[in-house]
Amino acid sequence: MKDKILLAHGSGGKLTHELVEKSFVKAFANPFLAKLDDSAVMDFNGRLAFTTDSYVVSPIFFPGGDIGKLAVYGTVNDLAMSGAKPLYLSLSFIIEEGLPQDELNEIVDSVQQATQEAEVEIVTGDTKVVHRGSADKLFVNTAGVGIIPEGVDISGNKARPGDRVILSGTIGDHGIAVLSQREGLSFSTQLESDCAPLGSLVAEMLAASPNIHCLRDPTRGGLATTLNELAKQSKVSIRIEEEKIPLREEVLAACEMLGFDPLYVANEGKLVAIVPAKDADKILKVMRENHYGTGAAIIGEVKAEHPGRVVMKTCLGASRIVDMLVGDLLPRIC
C-alpha cells in the first residue's frame, strides 16, 4: 500500500521530525535549515523587500508546473517586482490527511529545483496536517526577503505621462493550461503554464536602466487587472493596443471556445514594466535577450487624461475601456 501523509505527521512528534528531516531538510540542504532552530538568523545590508503569498491552486500538478514550483516563483517574482534580488524564502505546508507521500515528494523535488533556478534558499518552514476535507490536497505558503540595490526606487505610483508600457511575453498561458485540466471543461492542448522566476530578468533590465518606474507581475486577474491597479495608483491612464499584445494561438482558441477575454487570464511568468520613453528600446532589447523575456513587446503608453482608466485601441481603431476582473472567470455559452 502506498504511503500516505497522516494526521500524526503534523502533530509535532516523531513522525513530524522524520518528515521534516528526511523529506524537507535533505532536499533543501543549506546551513540555515541544518540548524533546525525556530528562526533563521541572518545579516542584511541595505533596504529589505519582504513579501508573502499562499498557494491553493487546483489541481496541484498542471502542465508545465505544480504548486511547489508556483510557490517559489510566485514569491520570488513579488520580490523582483520591487527591484529586489530575491534571497531567502520560508516554506509552509498545510497538508490534507491522506495525501500520497510520493506526491508530496514530487512537490518537494519541484520546490528544490525551483529554488536552484531562482537562486534562492529555503531557510525556515512549517508543516501542518489537517483532517480530510479541510484542505484541497495541499496548501503552500511562502514568504520571501530580498535586498533592493541602491538607487532603485520602483513603485506602483510612479508611472508618468509619456512612459511606455512593456509586457515581457505572451499572456494567458498559465490560466488556460490549468483550466485544461479542470473537470467539465476537458480540452487537450500542448500549452504549458508559463511559471517562471523573473529575478534575473529584472536584474538585467535594471542594469540597462535603473530608471524603471513600475514593475508588476500580472497573476490572478490577468493583465487587465494589473494595468488598472497601476493606473489607479499612479493616477494616470494607460493606453494599450490590442494588436500589440503577444498571444499564443492556443490561448486565443481556448478563450474563444469558453468565452474568456485573454486580458483577464492568469499568468505566472510575465511582467509589466512602465519605463521612461527614452529608455524603452534599450530595456526591450535586454529583455528579449533573456530566456524569460524573448517575447517582450511595447504594448502601450501612459497618458494624463482619464486618470485611473485603462483604454485599449481595438483592431478596428476604436477605443474602449478595459476594466478590472470582477469575480471569477466563468465559461459561458452566451
Partner 1 sequence: MCLAIPVLIKSIEDKEAEVKIGGITRRISLWLTPEAKVGDYALIHTGYAINILDQEQAEETLRLLKEIAEAEEKD
Partner 2 sequence: MKFITEFRRSELAEGLISQIHRKSKTPVRFMEFCGGHTVTIFRYGIRQILPETIEMVSGPGCPVCVTANADLDKAIALSQIPEVIIVTFGDMLKVPGSHSSLQKVKADGADVRVVYSTTNALEIAEENPTESVIFLGIGFETTAPTIAASILQAEERRIKNYYILSMHKLCPPVIRALLDSGEVKLHGLICPGHVSAIIGSHPWEFITRDYGIPCVVSGFEPLDILQCVDMLVAQVENGESRVEIAYRRGVRPEGNREALKLMEQVFEPCPTEWRGIGEIPDSGLKLRKEYQHFDAELAFDIDPGPTYEPEGCICGDILRGVKTPADCKLFGKVCTPEYPVGPCMVSSEGSCSAYYLYGGDFEG
Residues engaged in binding partner 2 (CB under 8 A): 183-186, 243, 249, 252-253, 256-259, 261, 305-306, 309, 311, 314-321, 323, 326-327, 330-334
1 binds, among partner 1, partner 2, none (CB under 5 to 8 A by kind): none
Cell of 95: 497538508
Quote the least distance from Cβ 165 to partner 2, whole Å. Answer: 18
**Strand segments (E) across 204-252:** 214-216, 237-241
CB 300 within 8 A of CB 209: no
Asked if residue 249 binds partner 1 (CB under 8 A), the reply is: yes
Instruction: Identify which of residues 257 and 321 has a Cβ nearer to partner 1 in the complex.
Output: 257
Q: Which secondary structure element, helix H or strand E, spans residue 202, and what is its range?
A: helix 199-208
CA distances 250 to 116, 188, 264, 270, Å, are 30, 10, 16, 17
Q: Does 181 bind partner 1 (CB under 8 A)?
A: no
Helices 67-80, 199-208: axis angle to 10 degrees equals 20
- Round to whole Å and give the CA distance between 262 and 283: 25
Q: What is the dihedral of CA 96, 100, 102, 106, to 10 degrees?
A: -40
Which one of partner 1, partner 2, none interacts with residue 323, CB within 5 to 8 A by kind? partner 2
Residue 25 is which amino acid? V
24 or 260: whose CB is closer to partner 1?
260
Q: How far apart are CA 266 and CA 183, in angstroms?
A: 18
Name which position in 252, 276, 288, 324 contacts partner 1 (CB under 8 A).
252
Of 121 and 250, the one with the shorter C-beta distance to partner 1 is 250
Site mask for partner 1 (CB under 8 A), range 20-59, x = bound: ----------------------------------------
Please report whether residue 178 would count as binding partner 1 according to CB under 8 A: no
Pairwise CA distance, residues 293 & 217, whole Å: 13
R_g of the chain computed on alpha carbons: 21
Binding of residue 318 to partner 1 (CB under 8 A): no
**Closest distance between partner 1 and the C-beta of residue 185, in Å?**
9
Amino acid at 198: L
Q: Which does 188 bind (CB under 5 to 8 A by kind): partner 2, partner 1, none?
A: partner 1
Contacts of 249 (CB under 8 A, 6+ apart): none
188 backbone dihedrals φ, ψ, rounded to 5°: -105, 140
Instruction: Using the rule CB under 8 A, give the single segment among 28-36, 104-112, 248-256, 287-295 that binds partner 1.
Output: 248-256
Q: Does 182 bind partner 1 (CB under 8 A)?
A: no
Which of 158/309 has CB closer to partner 2? 309
Smallest gap from residue 176 Cβ to partner 1 (A): 9
Contact residues for partner 1 (CB under 8 A)?
Answer: 186-191, 248-250, 252-254, 256-257, 259, 332-334
